[in-house]
């Protein structure tokens, strides 16, 4: 399964050197796509952050950026005009997840890949995104969270809807960097999954012994989700049940 490293959060005192070191660390772990947050500082400051990371990773990886739905249309467009000059893997969740008009309008200003959908949990909301959000099946990515959707059957209804609208399931890279999401994505044959190498531990990451190579992981032959084979997570679960 393809996996990418999500991080690049804003923290007090976290300077460009620390951000670049974080992204380089992901590449050293085997990832070839890394993701950072945008929208928490000014456009000019975010431009400096992005350019610093791109200079750091060079040809070793691609960069995705995530606004976490914080922009109004004017701000989303202003960022699009900046971001379209960078070789980004995607521009993620610019505005409110239910503001399909904003997403559709943004496509007129951003020709590169966009990603959204992590906060849409029903096949009806997903269908409205496909109908009205201007998403393009040849380049854009869908992030419906298969572990947070209203059950696996509901997620399968979403996938059926996508097929009916000409979308490949391989354009789905679910949000949620944990084993449950990863195992569902693998079982359904989706395009990959998010990963949290450093944040949200011990819930992020993979079973012990699984390594990222060339941006992909090979899942071990484990029963169920495989929580028991991630020692720090299993210890946390055992402590919660004692």
What is the residue whose two structure tokens read 């393009």?
A: 136
Q: DSSP per residue over the chain, as a string? A: -BEEEE-----TT--HHHHHHHHHHHHHTT-SEEEEE-SSS-HHHHHHHHHHHHHHHGGG-EEEEE-TT---HHHHHHHHHHHTTS-EEEEE--S-TT-HHHHHHHTTT--S-EEE-TT--SHHHHHHHHHHS---TTT-EE---TTTSS-HHHHHHHHHHHHHTT--GGGB--S--BHHHHHHHHHHT-S-EEE-SSSSTTTBS-STT---BTTB------STT-GGGSHHHHHHHHHHH-
Is 37 catalytic? The answer is yes
35, 175, 178, 230: which is the annotated catalytic residue?
175
Cα–Cα distance for residue pair 14/27, rounded to 1 Å: 19
37, 123, 178, 230: which is the annotated catalytic residue?
37
Tokens of 157: 């209804």
Is 14 catalytic? The answer is no
Residues annotated as catalytic (active site), given as ranges: 37, 175
């Amino acid at each position: 399964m393809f996996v990418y490293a999500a991080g690049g959060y804003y923290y007090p005192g976290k300077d460009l050197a620390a951000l670049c070191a974080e992204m380089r660390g992901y590449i050293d772990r085997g990832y070839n796509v890394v993701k950072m947050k945008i929208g928490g500082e000014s456009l000019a400051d975010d431009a400096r952050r992005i350019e610093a990371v791109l200079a750091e990773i060079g040809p070793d990886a691609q960069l995705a950026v995530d606004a976490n739905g914080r922009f109004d249309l004017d701000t989303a467009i202003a960022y699009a005009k900046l971001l379209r000059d960078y070789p980004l893997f995607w521009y993620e969740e610019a505005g409110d997840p239910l503001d399909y008009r904003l997403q559709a309008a943004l496509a007129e200003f951003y020709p590169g890949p966009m990603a959204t959908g992590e906060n849409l949990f029903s096949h009806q909301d997903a269908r409205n995104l496909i109908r009205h959000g201007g998403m393009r099946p040849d380049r854009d990515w869908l992030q419906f969270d298969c572990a947070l959707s209203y059950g696996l059957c509901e997620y399968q209804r979403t996938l059926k809807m996508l097929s009916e609208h000409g979308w490949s399931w391989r354009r789905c890279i679910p949000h949620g960097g944990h084993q449950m999401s990863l195992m569902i994505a693998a079982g359904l044959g989706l395009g990959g999954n998010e990963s949290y190498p450093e944040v949200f531990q011990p819930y992020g990451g993979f079973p012990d012994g699984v390594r990222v190579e060339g941006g992909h992981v090979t899942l071990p032959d484990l029963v169920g989700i495989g929580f028991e084979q991630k020692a720090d997570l299993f210890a946390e679960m055992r402590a919660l049940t004692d």
